[in-house]
Structure 1
Amino acid sequence: MSSFALPSPGRPAWRRRLSAMAVWAGAWLLMTALDGQAELANLALLLVLAAALCGLWLSTLESLACCALAVLAFNWQFVPPRGTLSVDLRQHLWLLFTMLAVGCMVGWLTGRQRRDADAARAAAQSAHLLHQVNEQLRLAPPAEGAAHLAEALRRLSQGSLAWWLAAPHEALGDAQPSAPLWHCDWQQPSDEELALLQECQRSAQATEQGPAQGQWHHQHLLPLRGAQHCLGAVLLRLPPGADWGPLQRDTAQALCDQAGLQLERRQTEQRAQRHSEAAQNQQLRNTLLAAISHDYRTPLATILGAASTLRHQWGKLSQDQASALAGTIVDEVEQLSTLTDNTLQLARLDAPQHALQRDWESLEELVGSAVARARSRYPGVRMNLRLEAGLPLLRCNAPLLVQLLNNLVDNAVRYAGEGPAIEIIARRLDPGLLLAVADRGPGIPAGQRERLFQPFERGNAPAPGAQRPAQRGAGLGLALCRAIVLAHGGQISVRQRQRGGASIECRFPIEPQPLAQTDAPEALP
């Protein structure tokens, strides 16, 4: 925990008085040495100078008392007749009176200036302390913020403390409160002290208790007040013989109020974030249900119509007509299967704390599985493979990577058609691995490239002769691709090709390769 530059205590009273006594002693020795060599008025100036210097260390009352005693001693030792307090000449009387008046005035002014300077220095140190604590509390969680506050109060008072912090849920009125946080510098706070802390939190008022029987310290109870709630309280024990002035008490309460505001702000932000996430999840579920219900309706109606025709008019249909209806049913079932797989996978990947099962896989085998499925589903589509030789193994979830390639190929066929070839590219790209599916379709405008990776977003216009119209599907394919790539620690983007078309590029990190097990022991018979 970082330290605080807190106000340092002033010089002890005995050291200040010792400094003043040294000044008076030096001035008296100097006047004694100059006795008989300098005029009486010049000796009096040394006394006035000593009074002014002593005002830097003594209080106003102490300065006035020392000045009066010094004038009497000056009259006794230097003013004729010496050894008595009587004065022979009138000018000597005026000299003594002037010395007393000037010395008292200088001492009073010097003491007042010293008090003002001490007050200004203490106020500046207090403001600096508040700024330091605010920087510590700005990004600290509630429990750590309370620890920062405790350290600052210890350094400010040189004492010990116990703090009680109400649980965040309880302080903000949630239905399920959790246990409060508390800490004590001494071994165990008494039941009375805990009751005082709870009462201070409930009343949100600072109180002070004098030293009780057997105790030699004052106790201060300070509430941790926020804008709307009092989040806790602090019980501060001062060291023996110490007492606080108004500035110290106000600074300590300002520290507690500052901590209370920061804690309340953090807790309010956490509640707002939880409510925002819950609202977004609810909106996503509603949109997902609406999109699925809409996109399931058309394939189901098509399947129902084709199956009904085959059932009731089987004898009237030619072989080609029956085959076409059966092909329609297969196509629509495949569309429903793809939509269902995309929806389930997207829901799993978006779930919190989803554990992704990964293993070392050959990228050539994954691409081969996707190409085999594409050639079976789209017989008229040409597939060009551009795989770099000696590609490293990829630590991934194989079914998800195959589903990623299937969705990218389906998207390319849907928008580019069966004319130009679909290219699958895999090569090293420092510092990772590039896996891309490229087509020669109309491409994707720059303003739509990032939006297409959001759920329920579709492209605008398919290419002439495309395999499927662009409006088919719930718009989950590229959103699922993005979720799969991010789950593997990669990035996905769209690049416009120079001679037309688009290339959807996935970049994956290359992890340290597993050691080849060439020295494995032979199996025993």
Structure 2
Amino acid sequence: MDTTLPAAPSSSAPHNALPLAQGRRWWPWLTWLAGWSAMLLLDGQFDLSNEAMLLMLTSVVASLWWPGWASALASTGAVLAFNWSFVPPRHTFDVDLQQHALLLLAMLVVNWIIAGLVVRLRQTADAARLVADREARLRAWSDTLRDAPDPAAHASALHTALTEATGAEVALAVLQDLNARPEDDTTLHVGQANGEQREGLALCIRDGRPMGEGTARYGDLHDWYLPLRGRGVTLGAAVLPEQGQTTDALSLRAHLQALCDQMGQALQRSLTERQARTSREQAQLQATRNALLAAISHDYRTPLATIMGASSSLHDQADKLDAAQRQRLAAGIVEEATRLSRLTDNTLQLARLDAPDVALRRDWESAEEIIGAVLGRARRRGHGARLKAWVEPGLPLLWCDTLLVSQLLDNLMDNALKYSPAEAPVEVQARLVEGHVSLSVSDRGPGIALAWREKVFDVFQRGDKTSSPEAGVEAARQGAGVGLAVCRAIARAHGGELRLSARPHGGCRFDFRLPLREPAPGAETPPPPEVTPP
């Protein structure tokens, strides 16, 4: 079924209704009463011409509220009453043609002219106020469109704006996709529209042009149908009661069409951004798939070939090999299988972290425990003598995914051990730095050229091999170029950053800075494990 929203209530008066305010409808009468009272009180103290000027002033003030015909009629009656009450001979309509006829005629004509000018001025002020109101409505409408997040919010805002502009019942049909059709079930309807009006809305959307009286299309219709036009596409339509063929009605229709066109452009922009975001996510997923395929096809071959060669030798020639040879082949299998496992973990983790809206399994963790566990695993692999660690006392708990942070430190330590001399120590530190907890791994290897300090974080980049010594070249040849990319992805998924800097006496420092967060109530810092200071 169609999505339908209720019509938004509006307390606005119709645009062409200019009634007197409730508290001002008696002001013209009070003005005439005050004027006549003043003339009667001053009768005999001023000559006839001064009293005539007082009458003209009263007529001008009263015309500020009355329409033109009422002001002209009141001015005529006032001149006749002035003739009856003040012009000699009093209490008659006889006029001395030489003395008073010109005065009365001038009073009447001047009153009519002034009343007409005042009415015209009031109409001009009303028209200017109407234009200002429409301009303010367009500005407010633009602000609403800028902040509205989805088509449904746009439709409700447009319904309110059109209702305020016309003071009549308005109905809308809004498409929710750039390729949608008006008869689709996803079409959004706002306000109440009968069957004929819904057919008219669908026709207006397909045609993309206004319909109704005065639009040169379906002029016999009793309603206006205005399209919601974007750039080269129509994304909805509005139906409004027609306002006749007056100049004000034509300007109103132009104003309403401007509101609808802004809506169409905003809808197109919103839907285009949504489509572009979906396309980016799909492209990102496709790039991740391509990266996985590239890693599997390129970097998995060497360890698999080594494992297959060593295992086939053990299987086919075990009786011809001595114990040392069998041990060497078995160690090669274990080493390549470990390397393959690490490469698989890194590649899958990179694919997971590159996916949109990834969710981390965070908890309050101790930096001491994380580093201690990573050191324990590394020392079991035979690198214990080279690893040195130092943890600043009293570090706060970390809000993080333990497995991911452990994988980050594993990768950094593996890189440091691989690219540094055999006897050089690798240092792991945890400390507070500028509102962050810094987890750093430092080595004393050949370092990384300045031009490569950002490239090494890209997938399948292995550093500047030309500047590395022979051991570094061999290590780079064995690397997959995934580990540091995974480390940066883990750091950014936690809202932190992974930085690379050169050490003063050679080597590199990789520094993972994790933002601090207030610990949960009742969370306690676990006791630190035993770590060896550098």
What's the TM-score once normalised by structure 2's chain length? 0.78
1:212 is matched with: none
Q: Which runs of 5+ in 1 are unaligned?
A: 210-217, 517-525
In the aligned structure 2, how far is the partner of 1:435 from the partner of 1:482? 13
Residues 121-520 of structure 1 mapped to structure 2, 5 A cutoff: 121-140=129-148, 141-171=150-180, 179-184=186-191, 190-203=194-207, 204-205=209-210, 207=212, 221-236=225-240, 245-300=249-304, 330-358=334-362, 363-375=367-379, 377=381, 379=383, 382-389=386-393, 394=398, 396-428=400-432, 431=435, 433-444=437-448, 448-461=452-465, 463-464=468-469, 466=471, 468-508=474-514, 509=516, 511-512=519-520
Shift of 1:150: 2.5
2:219 is matched with: none
The C-alpha deviation readout for 1:480-504, integer Å capped at 9, x for no partner, is 1122334445443234434443222
Does residue 52 (structure 1) correspond to residue 57 (structure 2)? The answer is no
**Worse-matched range after superposition: 282-291 or 7-16:** 7-16
Contact 1:384 1:423 (8 Å CA) reproduced: yes
Shift of 1:297: 4.0
For residue 74 of structure 1, what is the amino acid of its counterpart?
A: F
In the aligned structure 2, how far is the partner of 1:181 from the partner of 1:47? 62
In the aligned structure 2, how far is the partner of 1:264 from the partner of 1:249? 22
In the aligned structure 2, how far is the partner of 1:103 from the partner of 1:391? 90
Q: Identify if the C-alpha distance between structure 1 residues 73 and 451 changes in structure 2 by more than 3 Å, giving closer, same or farther.
A: farther
Q: Identify if the C-alpha distance between structure 1 residues 293 and 172 changes in structure 2 by more than 3 Å, giving closer, same or farther.
A: farther
Q: Identify if the C-alpha distance between structure 1 residues 448 and 77 changes in structure 2 by more than 3 Å, giving closer, same or farther.
A: farther
Shift of 1:355: 4.3
In the aligned structure 2, how far is the partner of 1:398 from the partner of 1:222? 58
Q: Identify if the C-alpha distance between structure 1 residues 353 and 272 changes in structure 2 by more than 3 Å, giving closer, same or farther.
A: closer
In the aligned structure 2, how far is the partner of 1:262 from the partner of 1:74? 64
Q: Identify if the C-alpha distance between structure 1 residues 208 and 484 changes in structure 2 by more than 3 Å, giving closer, same or farther.
A: same
State the secondary structure of the residue aligned to 2:476: coil
For residue 469 of structure 2, what is the amino acid of its counterpart?
A: P
In the aligned structure 2, how far is the partner of 1:193 from the partner of 1:259? 20
Within the candidate set 35, 39, 50, 1:42 is matched to 50
In the aligned structure 1, how far is the partner of 2:12 from the partner of 2:261? 18
Contact 2:295 2:347 (8 Å CA) reproduced: no
Does residue 100 (structure 1) correspond to residue 105 (structure 2)? The answer is no
Within the candidate set 37, 41, 45, 1:29 is matched to 37
1:520 is matched with: none
In the aligned structure 2, how far is the partner of 1:38 from the partner of 1:387? 105
Shift of 1:119: 1.0
In the aligned structure 2, how far is the partner of 1:6 from the partner of 1:447? 66
Shift of 1:196: 4.3
Q: Identify if the C-alpha distance between structure 1 residues 378 and 193 changes in structure 2 by more than 3 Å, giving closer, same or farther.
A: same
Contact 2:367 2:395 (8 Å CA) reproduced: yes
In the aligned structure 1, how far is the partner of 2:447 from the partner of 2:11? 61
Q: Identify if the C-alpha distance between structure 1 residues 435 and 31 changes in structure 2 by more than 3 Å, giving closer, same or farther.
A: same
1:65 is matched with: 73
Q: Identify if the C-alpha distance between structure 1 residues 385 and 250 changes in structure 2 by more than 3 Å, giving closer, same or farther.
A: same
RMSD: 4.1
For residue 182 of structure 1, what is the amino acid of its counterpart?
A: H
Q: Identify if the C-alpha distance between structure 1 residues 3 and 469 changes in structure 2 by more than 3 Å, giving closer, same or farther.
A: farther
Contact 2:178 2:235 (8 Å CA) reproduced: no
In the aligned structure 2, how far is the partner of 1:132 from the partner of 1:6? 16
For residue 502 of structure 1, what is the amino acid of its counterpart?
A: C
In the aligned structure 2, how far is the partner of 1:514 from the partner of 1:415? 43
In the aligned structure 1, how far is the partner of 2:362 from the partner of 2:384? 34
What's the TM-score once normalised by structure 1's chain length? 0.79
In the aligned structure 2, how far is the partner of 1:310 from the partner of 1:162? 81
Contact 1:442 1:463 (8 Å CA) reproduced: yes
Contact 2:370 2:406 (8 Å CA) reproduced: yes
In the aligned structure 1, how far is the partner of 2:232 from the partner of 2:26? 52
Q: Identify if the C-alpha distance between structure 1 residues 420 and 3 changes in structure 2 by more than 3 Å, giving closer, same or farther.
A: farther
Identity %: 43
Contact 2:205 2:236 (8 Å CA) reproduced: yes
Number of positions where the alignment pairs a residue of Structure 1 with one of Structure 2? 499
Q: Identify if the C-alpha distance between structure 1 residues 464 and 323 changes in structure 2 by more than 3 Å, giving closer, same or farther.
A: farther
Shift of 1:131: 0.4
The C-alpha deviation readout for 1:134-176, integer Å capped at 9, x for no partner, is 1011121211122222333344444444433222254489xx9
In the aligned structure 1, how far is the partner of 2:365 from the partner of 2:107? 100
State the secondary structure of the residue aligned to 1:264: helix
In the aligned structure 2, how far is the partner of 1:447 from the partner of 1:57? 80
In the aligned structure 1, how far is the partner of 2:73 from the partner of 2:449? 91
For residue 155 of structure 2, what is the amino acid of its counterpart?
A: A
In the aligned structure 2, how far is the partner of 1:190 from the partner of 1:418? 84
Q: Identify if the C-alpha distance between structure 1 residues 227 and 119 changes in structure 2 by more than 3 Å, giving closer, same or farther.
A: same
In the aligned structure 1, how far is the partner of 2:420 from the partner of 2:494? 28
State the secondary structure of the residue aligned to 2:511: strand
Does residue 119 (structure 1) correspond to residue 124 (structure 2)? The answer is no
Q: Identify if the C-alpha distance between structure 1 residues 128 and 153 changes in structure 2 by more than 3 Å, giving closer, same or farther.
A: same
